[in-house]
C-alpha cells in the first residue's frame, strides 16, 4: 500500500514505510503546513528528514508553521523537460525563505521551501502573473490537492502583504 | 592503541608527484554512436592503453562511474583481455573523475593493485539523454522526489538555476559576461579537430538563443553526445618506462560538499558552491595556489558552472567571476586558459573526463590540434590561436581540473608536467 494520486498527469506516490513523507503530506492534505521540530535543539527543518541536520537527534515533533515568506531565488522554465509541464510554460520554480526561523541558526540559513508560482486555488499561474514575481516578492502558501492523504504546497502572491516596488528579475524578458 | 583525537584524512602530502596519468583515450564524439556503451567503453580503453604504451594485461585495477546508464568493469575487463585485482563501479556524474583518481591512488598505495584504468562510457544523446528529456523525465514520482519533480524541478539546468540567479542578484553578474564562457570555449573547440561543435559563437549568439530555463539560454547549456573516455594511472616510478612524459598528480580533493546535501539550498549563501570548502584541501595538498596554475579545466555543464567554480576555488574574488571569465584570461593566449578542448559546451559531454584528458595532453606539450607534425613525429606547435589553428598552451607547467556534480559537490585535481 502507499499514498498516491495523479497530479497534472504524473503519478505521485509515497510508500507507507516512508513515515516522514507520509506524515508531511498528510498535514498538507488537510491544508495545514507542518514541519519537524527537533526535540533536542528546537530547530525546524525542511524537507522531511530522519534526523536533525544541526544536532543529529532522531527525535522530532510535527509542528504547525506559518506558510509565509519571500522569494530567495527562482528559475523560470520556458522549455519543459517533463511531459506534465510541456503545456504549462513558462512556469516558475520558487525558492522561498519562510519568515519563521529566517536567519537561524546562522545568518545565511533559512527554511527555503520549493514550489511553483500558483493561483490561490493551487493551479499553476498564467504567464502574466509570472512576469510580476521576482526575488523579494511576498508569497503565501496554498495547496494543490492530489488525492487522499496527499496535497502539495504551492506559492501564491500574498495580496495582503506590502510588496517590494520592483522585485528583482532576470534582466532579459 | 587509541587513534589520535584528530586525524587528517586528506591526502598525505608525501603522495605529491608519486602517481601519474600515463595514458588517455577516447572514442569519437558523436550524436548517434550506433554502439552499446560496452562497445564504446572498450574502444576508449584500448585507445588509452595504446596511448600509454602498455599491454592490456598490465591493467589490474578498474574504476567507472555512471548514473545507471552504462556498462561496468565486469564487462570491460574481459573485453579488453585482462584480469583485475581490484574494481569498483560507482554512481555519479560530474566530479567523479577527480575523486576516482584519488581512490585509484589510495588503492594502489594500499597495495590492492598497480595500474588503474578509469572509464566513463555513455550514449548521452541516443540513449539516456543528459538534458533530462526522454524516459527519465516521465518516470514515476515517489517519496522524496515529490519535493522536486512534482514541481517540474528535475533537469540539471532547472536544479542549478536558483544558484545562478542568486549570483546575478547578489553580485550584479551580467548575462553578457557569463556568455563569454561559451564564446571562449567555442574558440578553443574551433582548434580541436575532435570537437563535436567547432563553430565559433559570439555573445549575441548566446543571448539570442532561446531561453531553456532562466537564466540559461540554449547556448549556456552543454551538448549531449555519445562517447567514452578513459585514463590510466600508475606510479610515477613506473611511468618513467612508458611512452610519454606523464603528468604527475600533485593533489586531489573530492567529492567535497556544502552542508545539507539532502537539500543544499537550506544553507546559504546559495551563490556559494562546493569549491569554497574544497579549495582549503586542494591547494595545501598540491603545494601550489591558483596563481601557479597555467590552465584550468573548470567543469562547464553550463557557462555558469565554470564561472562559479573559478570564483570559489580562488582564481578571482567572490563575486568577480563575471569579470574574470570575460576578461580574456581564460582564452588561449591569456594568462590561464580554461577548457582548451572546448569542454562540455563544445567538444562533447563526458561528465568531466575529457577535461582531464585535455590537460594531460597539454602538460605533455603535445595537444592534438592541426599543427604540422615534424620529422621527429611530434607536432610543431605554432601558438597561433586563430580559428583552425594551434591550441597548445605555451610553456604550460601546472593545471587544475575543477569538477562539478551540482552547486554543493565538487572534486578537483592539480597536475604538473612530468620529467
The pLDDT value given to residue A133: 98
Q: Which of residues 85-114 of A touch B (CB under 8 A)?
A: 85, 88, 91, 93, 95, 106, 108-112, 114
Residue A151 included in any domain: yes
Q: Where are the beta strands (DSSP E) in chain A?
A: 2-7, 10-15, 34-38, 44-45, 60-64, 68-77, 91-98, 112-116, 138-147, 150-157
**A3 beta partners:** A14
Residue B93 included in any domain: yes
In this complex, the residue of B151, B214, B263 whose CB is nearest that of residue A115 is B151
Does the pLDDT at position A80 exceed 60? yes
Report the pLDDT averaged over residues A65-83.
97
Q: Environment class of residue B172 by beta-carbon count within 10 Å: exposed (0-12), middle (13-18) or buried (19+)?
A: exposed
Query: Quick check: B131 and A170 CB within 8 A?
Result: no
* Per-residue pLDDT tens digits for B314-358: 999 999 999 999 999 999 999 999 999 999 999 999 999 999 999
Q: What DSSP line would sit under B102-131, residue for residue?
A: HHHHHHHHTTS-SEEEEEEEEETTTTS-TT
Cα separations in angstroms, A125 against A91, A112, A128, A142: 7, 20, 8, 12
Residue A56 included in any domain: yes
Does the pLDDT at position B6 exceed 60? no
Residue B29 included in any domain: yes
Closest CA to B177 of B299, B339, B324, B302: B324
Residue A170 included in any domain: no
- Min CA distance, A48 vs chain B (Å)? 8
**β-bridge pairing B216-217 and B211-214:** antiparallel
Residue B343 included in any domain: no
Q: How many domains does chain A fold into?
A: 1
**β-bridge pairing B295-298 and B398-406:** parallel
The pLDDT value given to residue B302: 98
| Residue reference for cell 545507471 | B68
Query: Quick check: A73 and B166 CB within 8 A?
Result: yes
Expressed as residue numbers, the domain containing A71 is 2-157
Identify whether A167 is preceded by a cis peptide bond (ω within 30 of 0). Answer: no
Q: Which of B165, B173, B176 to substitute to test the interface with A, most A CBs within 10 Å?
A: B165
Q: Which three cell numbers stand for residue B356?
A: 582531464
- How does residue A160 score in pLDDT terms, banded at 50, 70 and 90? very high
* Per-residue pLDDT tens digits for A139-153: 999 999 999 999 999
Report the pLDDT averaged over residues B198-218.
98
Q: How many domains does chain B fold into?
A: 1
Report the pLDDT averaged over residues B379-401.
97
B299 among known catalytic residues: yes
Contact between residue B386 and residue B370 where contact means Cβ atoms under 8 Å apart: no
* Per-residue pLDDT tens digits for A2-35: 999 999 999 999 999 999 999 999 999 999 999 9
Q: Which three cell numbers stand for residue B293?
A: 596554475
Query: Quick check: A152 and B143 CB within 8 A?
Result: no
Provide the terminal-to-terminal Cα distance of chain A, rounded to the nearest Å. 46
**Cβ neighbours, 10 Å, residue B89:** 16
Q: Environment class of residue B404 by beta-carbon count within 10 Å: exposed (0-12), middle (13-18) or buried (19+)?
A: buried
The pLDDT value given to residue A154: 98
Residue A71 included in any domain: yes
Residues in B closer than 8 angstroms to A14, CB to CB, are 142-143, 146
Residue A165 included in any domain: no
Ramachandran assignment for B113, one of left (phi > 0), alpha (psi -120 to 50 degrees), beta (any other): beta
Cα separations in angstroms, A164 against A137, B10, B167, B394: 6, 47, 20, 52
In this complex, the residue of B154, B162, B163 whose CB is nearest that of residue A81 is B154
Q: What average pLDDT is seen over chain B?
A: 95
Does the pLDDT at position B72 exceed 50? yes
R_g (Cα) of chain B, nearest Å: 20
The pLDDT value given to residue B131: 86
The pLDDT value given to residue A113: 98
Residue A173 included in any domain: no
In this complex, the residue of A47, A116, A170 whose CB is nearest that of residue B165 is A170
Closest CA to B300 of B253, B254, B263, B337: B337
Residue A14 included in any domain: yes
Q: Which three cell numbers stand for residue A11?
A: 503519478
Residue A15 included in any domain: yes
Contact between residue A46 and residue A112 where contact means Cβ atoms under 8 Å apart: yes
Query: Quick check: B162 and A7 CB within 8 A?
Result: no
Q: What average pLDDT is seen over chain A?
A: 97
Expressed as residue numbers, the domain containing B123 is 16-128+225-239
Chain B: residue whose CA lies nearest to A155: B151
Residue B118 included in any domain: yes
* Per-residue pLDDT tens digits for A53-71: 999 999 999 999 999 999 9
Report the pLDDT averaged over residues B212-218.
98
Residue B24 included in any domain: yes
Give the three-state DSSP class for A71.
strand
Three-class HEC string of B303-323 = HHHHHHHHHHCCCCCCCCHHH
The pLDDT value given to residue A42: 98
Give the three-state DSSP class for B226.
strand
- How does residue B7 score in pLDDT terms, banded at 50, 70 and 90? very low
CATH number at residue B97: 3.40.47.10
Residue from B87, B197, B324, B349 carrying the catalytic annotation: B349
Percent of chain A with pLDDT strictly greater than 90: 99
Q: Which of residues 27-86 of A touch B (CB under 8 A)?
A: 45-47, 49, 53, 72-85
Contact between residue B317 and residue B279 where contact means Cβ atoms under 8 Å apart: no
**Cβ neighbours, 10 Å, residue B4:** 7
Q: What DSSP line would sit under A9-35, residue for residue?
A: TEEEEEETT-HHHHHHHHHHHTT--EE
Query: Quick check: A75 and B212 CB within 8 A?
Result: no
CATH number at residue A113: 2.40.50.840
Calpha distance B353→B358 (Å, rounded): 9
Amino acid at each position: 500500500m502507499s499514498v498516491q494520486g495523479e497530479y497534472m498527469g504524473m503519478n505521485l506516490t509515497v510508500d507507507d514505510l516512508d513515515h516522514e513523507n507520509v506524515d508531511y503530506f498528510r498535514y498538507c492534505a488537510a491544508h495545514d503546513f507542518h514541519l519537524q521540530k527537533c526535540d533536542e535543539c528546537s530547530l525546524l527543518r525542511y524537507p522531511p528528514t530522519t534526523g536533525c541536520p544541526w544536532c543529529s537527534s532522531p527525535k522530532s515533533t510535527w509542528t504547525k508553521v506559518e506558510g509565509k515568506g519571500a522569494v530567495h531565488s527562482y528559475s523560470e522554465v520556458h522549455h519543459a523537460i517533463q511531459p506534465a509541464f510541456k503545456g504549462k510554460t513558462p512556469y516558475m520554480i520558487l525558492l522561498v525563505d519562510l519568515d519563521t526561523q529566517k536567519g537561524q541558526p546562522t545568518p545565511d540559513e533559512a527554511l527555503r521551501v520549493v514550489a511553483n508560482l500558483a493561483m490561490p486555488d493551487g493551479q499553476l499561474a498564467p504567464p502574466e502573473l509570472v512576469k510580476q514575481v521576482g526575488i523579494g516578492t511576498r508569497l503565501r502558501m496554498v495547496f494543490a490537492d492530489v488525492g487522499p492523504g496527499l496535497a502539495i504546497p504551492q506559492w501564491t502572491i500574498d495580496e495582503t502583504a506590502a510588496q517590494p516596488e520592483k522585485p528583482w528579475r532576470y534582466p532579459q524578458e | 592503541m587509541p587513534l589520535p583525537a584528530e586525524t587528517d584524512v586528506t591526502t598525505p602530502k608525501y603522495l605529491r608527484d608519486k602517481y601519474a596519468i600515463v595514458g588517455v583515450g577516447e572514442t569519437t564524439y558523436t550524436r548517434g554512436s550506433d554502439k552499446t556503451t560496452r562497445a564504446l567503453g572498450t574502444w576508449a580503453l584500448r585507445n588509452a592503453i595504446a596511448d600509454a604504451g602498455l599491454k592490456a594485461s598490465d591493467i589490474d585495477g578498474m574504476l567507472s562511474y555512471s548514473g545507471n546508464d552504462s556498462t561496468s568493469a565486469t564487462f570491460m575487463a574481459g573485453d579488453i583481455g585482462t584480469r583485475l585485482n581490484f574494481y569498483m563501479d560507482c554512481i555519479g556524474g560530474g566530479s567523479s573523475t577527480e575523486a576516482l583518481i584519488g581512490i585509484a591512488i589510495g588503492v594502489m598505495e594500499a597495495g590492492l593493485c598497480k595500474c588503474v584504468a578509469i572509464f566513463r562510457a555513455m550514449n548521452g544523446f541516443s540513449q539516456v539523454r543528459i538534458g533530462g528529456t526522454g524516459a527519465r523525465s516521465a518516470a514515476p514520482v515517489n517519496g522524496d522526489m515529490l519535493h522536486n519533480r512534482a514541481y517540474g524541478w528535475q533537469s540539471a539546468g532547472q536544479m542549478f538555476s536558483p544558484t545562478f540567479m542568486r549570483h546575478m542578484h547578489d553580485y550584479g553578474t551580467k548575462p553578457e559576461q557569463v556568455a563569454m564562457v561559451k564564446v571562449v570555449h567555442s574558440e578553443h573547440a574551433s582548434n580541436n579537430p575532435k570537437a563535436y561543435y567547432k563553430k565559433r559563437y559570439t555573445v549575441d549568439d548566446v543571448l539570442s538563443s532561446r531561453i531553456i530555463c532562466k537564466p540559461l539560454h540554449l547556448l549556456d547549456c552543454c551538448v549531449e553526445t555519445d562517447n567514452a573516455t578513459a585514463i590510466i594511472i600508475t606510479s610515477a616510478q613506473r611511468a618513467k618506462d612508458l611512452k610519454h612524459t606523464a603528468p604527475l598528480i600533485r593533489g586531489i580533493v573530492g567529492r567535497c560538499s556544502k552542508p545539507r546535501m539532502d537539500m543544499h539550498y537550506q544553507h546559504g549563501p546559495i551563490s556559494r558552491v562546493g569549491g569554497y570548502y574544497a579549495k582549503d584541501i586542494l591547494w595545501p595538498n598540491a603545494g601550489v595556489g591558483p596563481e601557479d596554475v597555467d590552465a584550468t579545466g573548470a567543469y562547464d555543464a553550463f557557462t555558469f558552472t565554470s564561472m562559479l567554480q573559478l570564483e570559489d576555488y580562488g582564481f578571482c574574488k567572490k563575486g568577480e567571476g563575471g569579470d574574470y571569465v570575460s576578461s580574456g584570461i581564460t582564452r588561449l593566449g591569456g594568462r590561464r586558459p580554461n577548457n582548451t578542448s572546448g569542454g562540455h559546451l563544445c567538444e562533447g559531454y563526458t561528465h568531466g573526463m575529457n577535461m582531464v584528458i585535455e590537460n594531460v595532453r597539454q602538460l605533455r606539450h603535445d595537444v592534438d590540434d592541426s599543427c604540422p607534425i615534424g620529422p621527429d613525429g611530434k607536432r610543431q606547435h605554432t601558438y597561433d590561436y586563430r580559428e583552425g589553428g594551434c591550441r597548445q598552451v605555451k610553456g604550460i607547467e601546472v593545471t587544475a581540473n575543477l569538477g562539478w556534480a551540482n552547486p554543493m559537490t565538487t572534486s578537483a585535481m592539480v597536475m604538473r608536467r612530468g620529467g
